Amino acid sequence: MLAFGDEHWRNWTPLAAAIPRYFRIFEASRGGIPAAAAEITAITCHAARRTHVAMKLHLPRAFAAGATAGQVAEALSFMLLPAGGPCLIDAVQAWAEAHEADPSLPSPYVPA
């Protein structure tokens, strides 16, 4: 959604303004769900939809909230049957790209 909005409505909703709004909506909607669990869920949902830009936005938030690389990897593995192997491979690649861009994020390939 963020990329679509930036592409089609940039004059009205620039990405720099849309991201903080998106996170405000996200925080308001998670209710009592622990932050790490909500972020991991968002990562997995965005990965399944192959919206990797949004997935990459949630990765640092998940790790900052206390999620481990093992928890994120396990959550992504649940996509295998409903979304297929290629979707899982793409998600892990997006995570690796996020790690390359920000080495403070755990790598999907190095055991924690």
pLDDT of 75-89, one tens digit each?
Answer: 999 999 999 999 999
Q: Quick check: 40 and 72 in contact, CB under 8 A?
A: yes
List of domains in the chain: 32-101 (1.20.1290.10)
Ranges of H-type helices in 33-84: 35-48, 52-64, 69-77, 80-83
pLDDT of 25-65, one tens digit each?
Answer: 999 999 999 999 999 999 999 999 999 999 999 999 999 99
Average pLDDT, the chain: 90
